[in-house]
Amino acid sequence: MQQSDTAGRILHVAASLFAEQGFAETTMRQITAKAGVNLAAVNYHFGSKERLILAVAETYITPLLVNLTQRLEERQALGGQTIALEELVEMMMRALLRVDGQTQDALAVFTRLLDLAYMGPQQALRDFLADKYGLRLQPFLMQVRADSAPMNDDEFFWRLHFLLGSVVFTLSNFKTLSRMGQAPGEPGVDLERILHRMVPVLAAGLQARAETTQFCWL
């Protein structure tokens, strides 16, 4: 924020625009204009739009994982073999809120990034994320599975993504949804409440007994 800090301003503005409009919909012109810097500055500092996206992403993902890992380790240090699923989900929610608490854009950027990674043919982005963050998430996932209903790897993989879908969709569309739903009040409080509301739902989903029979119901 001192002494010009062009790169920082770009990062900040880009995050805000990405959150609001999405990656593809946000143009370099918008970013640089709003940041009050030269059009070429993004390419100078980040190389390309794609690398800017990655830079913004790192800004949010790294602290999130650091925070989550730390919370988990602290809790595990307290002892007790299994940790209640609801507590774990809450842990994740708190980590999400924490990283968002500062910029208000983190969650939206985060979820748009997942959308981008899962959608199209962005194999490169998937690899980048998997390489960089996949491992660090392992311990948390192990702990989650320990208190879920018993199920094979396949089932667990898919359930994880069902939940991920709930989170991503809700966060992605939070602004729109809270405008639609009758929920009034300041957005800061609301987001917390919504995440809180998800906790029992997600936990129940993970603990639902897995179907074992193969039943073709069409």
Tokens (6 digits) for 98: 């924490």
The amino acid sitting at 60 is Y
Rounded Cα distance between 166 and 169, Å, is: 5
Exactly one of 1, 2, 4, 158 binds DNA (CB under 7 A); that residue is 4
Q: Give the x-and-dash track for 82-111 against its own copies (CB under 8 A).
A: --------x---x--xx-------------
- What is the smallest separation between the CB atom of 31 and DNA, expressed in angstroms? 8
Which residues have CB under 8 Å from 180's CB, separation 6+? none
Q: In terms of CB distance, is 40 or 141 closer to DNA?
A: 40
**DSSP per-residue letters across 14-40:** HHHHHHHH-TTTS-HHHHHHHHTS-TT
Q: Are 107 and 96 in contact (CB under 8 A)?
A: yes
Cβ neighbour number for residue 37 with a 10 Å cutoff: 19
Long-range contacts formed by 99-102: CB under 8 A, 24+ apart: 99/60, 99/63, 99/64, 99/67, 100/191
Pick out residues in 28-87 that bind its own copies (CB under 8 A): none
Pick out residues in 10-49 that bind DNA (CB under 7 A): 26-30, 37-45, 48-49
Query: Binding to DNA by residue 53, rule CB under 7 A?
Result: no
Q: In terms of CB distance, is 36 or 181 closer to its own copies?
A: 181
Query: Binding to its own copies by residue 146, rule CB under 8 A?
Result: no
Query: Binding to its own copies by residue 176, rule CB under 8 A?
Result: yes
Q: Are 23 and 16 in contact (CB under 8 A)?
A: no
- What is the smallest separation between the CB atom of 33 and DNA, expressed in angstroms? 9
Measure CA 143 to chain center: 19
Q: In terms of CB distance, is 52 or 88 closer to DNA?
A: 52
- Kindly list the residues in this chain that would bind DNA in the complex (CB under 7 A): 4-7, 26-30, 37-45, 48-50
User: Which positions touch its own copies (CB under 8 A)?
Assistant: 21-22, 24-25, 90, 94, 97-98, 115, 118-120, 126, 153-155, 157-159, 161-170, 172-173, 176-177, 180-183, 192-194, 196-211, 214-218
